[in-house]
Amino acid sequence: MKRTFVTLFAFLMVASVAVNAQTSDVTPTGGRQILNATQVAKLDLNGKWSGKRHQYSWDKKSFIETFQYEFDLKQEGDIITGTSTIISSNGEYADMKLEGVLVGNKLHFAEKEVKSAIRPDGKVWCFKSGELFFAKEGDNLKLVGATPSYMEVYNYPCSGGETDLVKVDNSSNVQVLVNAGTSSAGTEDKISISVFPNPFVETTTLYYSLTGDSKVKAEIYDISGKMVTSLFEGNQKQGSYNLSFDAKSSGSLNGIFIVKLVINGEVYSRQLVQMR
C-alpha cells in the first residue's frame, strides 16, 4: 500500500495544462554551442546558476509545468557539491542537497536529500538527476539537457524533464568562452553506446560498437566521483561488445552510477539508476 500511495501522489507527476514540448528551445543543443571536454576543464563552476526546469508529460510529448530551478555549486577539481532549489508557480518549493562529477564535457549530478521544503501533506518531490552539457550562448555560460527524476523512496521513475540554467556571475569564465570560438562539440556520440536495462535492479549491461581497433577502458563511478569497479581495460578489435555491471556484487548501494568509457582517449559516459 505504501508504494501505491507514493506512486499516486508523487508531486512532480501531477498533470496540469499541457504545453507543446516541440515549441520549447530547451533541448540538449537548442542552437547553442556545446563546449568540449578541454574547454569544460578550464571553467569555474562555483556559485549560483538560475533558470527553468520543464516537466514532461508521461508520454514525453509535451511539458505540463515549468518550475524556477537553481543550483548553488561548489567545485573541487572534477567533484561538484551543493544545493538545488525548485519552486513551483504556487510557491511550493524544495531545497535539495546535490552532488556530482565532471566526466568529459558533461556534468553528471543527482539530488540526494531534501534539506527544506513546502509541500502538501502526502506528496513528495522527485529527486532529479542527469547528464548536463555546458553551452555557450552569447556571453552566457549555460547548463542544459535532460533531467530524469525519481521518487524519494524506491527510485521509481517520475516523468522527468529538461533543464536550462545560466551561470549568474560568469566573469571568471569570459576568456574561456571567448577562446572557445564558434565550433560546437555537439551532443551526439561518435560511436554507438547504450545501457540496458536502465533503470535496473541489480544488473545492467553496457553495449558499444567500435569502428576500428581501439584501446578501451570502462569504469563505473558513483555520483560522488568515487570509482566503484573497473569493467575492462585493454585492446579490442572493430566490432560490437557488451560489459555487465552487478551493483550488488560491487557492494555499492549508491543508487546513481556513471559508466565512463574511454576509447582511444575519447571520453563517453552514461548515467545509471538502480531501483531500490
Q: How far apart are CA 270 and CA 140, in angstroms?
A: 26
pLDDT for 30 equals 59
pLDDT for 254 equals 65
Residue-by-residue DSSP string for 27-48: SSSTT-EE--HHHHTT----EE
Domain that holds residue 105: 2-179
Q: How far apart are CA 5 and CA 60, in angstroms?
A: 23
Largest CA distance in the chain: 57
Count of the separate structural domains present in the chain: 2
Q: How far apart are CA 74 and CA 220, in angstroms?
A: 23
pLDDT for 58 equals 86
pLDDT for 20 equals 38
Residues 201 and 170 in one domain: no
**77: which 3 cell numbers?**
577539481
Average confidence (pLDDT) per 10 residues, the chain, 276 residues:
38 36 42 92 98 93 95 98 96 95 97 91 86 96 96 85 97 95 83 94 95 97 94 97 91 84 96 89
**For residue 39, is it within any domain?**
yes
Domain boundary among 150, 179, 208: 179
pLDDT for 14 equals 37
**157: which 3 cell numbers?**
521513475
- E strands in 28-157: 33-34, 47-56, 62-76, 79-87, 93-103, 106-118, 127-137, 140-147, 149-150
Residues 208 and 231 in one domain: yes
225: left (phi over 0), alpha (psi -120 to 50) or beta: left
Q: What is the pTM of this model?
A: 0.88
pLDDT for 257 equals 95
**For residue 186, is it within any domain?**
no
